[in-house]
Amino acid sequence: MPQALSRRALGKTAVASTLAASAGPFVHTRQARANEQVDVVVIGAGLSGLNTAGILADSGLDVMVLEGSSRIGGRVWSAEESWETNAGEVPIELGASQISGSYARVLDAVDRLGLELLDEDRKLLPFSAHLNGLHIKADEWADSPVNMLVGEERNIPAMQFGSSMLAKLNPLVELDDWLDPKFADYDVSIHDLLKRNGVSEAGIRLAEVSGLGANLHGVSALRLFQERTRGTLELQFPSVEGGEQWPKNIKGGTAVLPQAMASQLPGAVLTGQQVMAIDVEEDGVDVRTIDGGRYRARFVVSAVPFSVLRMVSIWPKPPAPQYEAIHRLKYAETTRAFCRIKEPFWQADGFEPGLFSDGAVRMFWAIDNHKGEGEHRGMFVLTGWSGQHVAALSPEAASQFLVDELARLRPASKGQVEILRFHSWGRQPFAAGL
């Protein structure tokens, strides 16, 4: 009996972006392929969907890829705007961009498709903090009157408090330890984990502000432990100090990876095909799109985020655990504004260039231009409630708000910051967060 298959996304190996799907001859219109029966329909033309389609096609199956948006690449996206780095002018990457030495499948695809890698140029300058209305230099935090932490907690840098606590409490060693039942006791909220380990109330609050989540009651500590364990693995790969420099970027923008992957597929990649229903029947599977398109296949593979899949009618209803996962799994609002810094304003106010704040401007990154003087790159990075509130504004209004708010916190930045591109992943209908 045919069945609807769900493939787990490539997740942390998904480190590249996309071009407009109309740019390549591998993209076809719905009218050209409507009502054609294939072996497999893959829903979603991100890296996971394209990789899935490639594997199935290499196995001799006739595959069609349906993508709801007007472009391919999913949560990886190279913008039209660019900025200047040591490698020259490169596209601004709205989504995933870094390729680590551990990303074996991505590196294999890059090599197989003949793409070129560049050393990444994104060294962040040090951060100051603006908490409870006071601007604090990094070396003054431990003794600051704003620092309400207790005991040894006071010596942990404000911006690193949450991540430092997780590193200290993480019991996982191997990548698959999170699946071991003996660690099930850590599948509790971050709030509960910190509280039962004696972290002060001020520390728990700071952990929330410093990026562990807008709602510490709704994020699993085990989930973040698994992520940190994967991050520890990254440290075992060569770095600039130990040999070859990692991470890397793709020359021409990471968009060229999904474009190249799609160009190798013998079947169609159809954009603008928002799937509204998947009907599993005795002799096949029907996939229906919102514009009346209908596609017939022996199997269907969903390669879209659960935040998108939950808007699709699936009949018959998936088994209870799968249904619950589809409808309950949350994704975070991640909002970024990419900007040019005309002059290093931190030389005027005497604080570290970057900023960590408990306000709407959660983090402002200043990227080293390796010259000290002159234009730098910068980025506003907003998560949780700050991202949600700012993303509710229009891109123009949000950009102006961020520039004005930074100037309020740091008057020296007035007139020195120009936003080149504002982007909210929570506002993208075919991603709905990261």
For the chain, domain boundaries = 4-75+254-328, 123-152+331-434, 156-245
Can you tell me the mean pLDDT for 196-209? 92
Length of the chain: 434
Contact (Cβ atoms closer than 8 angstroms) between residue 27 and residue 271: yes
Order across the sheet with 334-341: list the strands. 134-136, 127-131, 354-357, 363-367, 376-383, 334-341, 417-424
| Whole-number pLDDT of residue 211 | 67
Distance from C-alpha of 161 to C-alpha of 78, rounded to nearest angstrom: 32
Of all residues in the chain, the percent with pLDDT exceeding 90 is 71
Here the tokens at position 417 are 């910051």
Stronger pLDDT, 241 or 176, i.e. the higher one = 176
Task: Check residue 395 and give its pLDDT.
Answer: 95
To the nearest whole percent, how much of the chain has pLDDT over 70?
Answer: 89
| Distances 253 to 14, 83, 105, 109, 250 between C-alpha atoms, Å | 14, 12, 18, 15, 6
pLDDT at residue 84 in the model: 85
Q: pLDDT for 57-108, tens place per residue?
A: 999 999 999 999 999 999 999 999 999 887 788 999 999 888 988 888 999 9
* Predicted confidence band of residue 219 (pLDDT cuts 50, 70, 90): confident
Confidence of residue 192 (pLDDT cuts 50, 70, 90): very high
Chain-wide mean pLDDT for the chain? 87
Residue 3 pLDDT greater than 80, yes or no:
no
Report the range of poorest mean pLDDT among 26-40, 244-258, 378-392.
26-40
Q: What is the mean pLDDT of residues 238-252?
A: 74
Instruction: Say yes or no: domain 123-152+331-434 is CATH 3.90.660.10.
Output: yes
Q: Mind giving me the DSSP string for 292-350?
A: S-EEEEEEEEE-S-HHHHTTSEEESPPPHHHHHHHHH-----EEEEEEEESS-THHHH-
Cβ within 8 Å of residue 242, ≥6 positions away: none
Encode pLDDT of 148-168 as tens digits: 999 999 999 999 999 999 999
345 phi, psi to nearest 5 deg: -65, -20
Beta strand 363-367 with 354-357 is antiparallel
Q: Which of residues 39 and 220 earns the better pLDDT score?
A: 39
Residue 330 pLDDT = 78
Q: Where do we find the tokens 């890829």?
A: 65
Angle at 150 between CA 148 and CA 151, to 5 degrees: 140
Side-chain half-sphere of 59: how many Cα atoms within 13 Å? 10
Q: Which residue has the higher pLDDT, 282 or 4?
A: 282
Poorest-pLDDT segment among 177-181, 218-222, 242-246, 423-427: 242-246
User: CB burial class (10 A; 0-12, 13-18, 19+) of residue 33?
Assistant: middle
User: What's the pLDDT tens digit per position in 298-324?
Assistant: 999 999 999 999 999 999 999 999 999
pTM of the full structure: 0.86
The model's confidence at residue 23, banded by pLDDT at 50, 70 and 90, is: very low
Q: What is the pLDDT of residue 361?
A: 92
Three-state DSSP state, 409: helix
Q: Band of the pLDDT at 392, cuts 50, 70, 90?
A: very high
From first CA to last CA, the distance across the chain in angstroms is 34
pLDDT band of 19, cuts 50, 70, 90:
very low
Mean of pLDDT values over 274-289: 95
**Per-residue pLDDT tens digits for 261-271:** 999 999 889 99
Please tell me the distance from the alpha carbon of residue 96 to that of residue 247, in angstroms, as a whole number: 12
Is the domain 4-75+254-328 a CATH 3.50.50.60 member? yes
Assess whether pLDDT exceeds 80 at residue 257.
yes
**Mean pLDDT, range 174-203, rounded to an integer:** 94
CA distance 374 to 342: 7
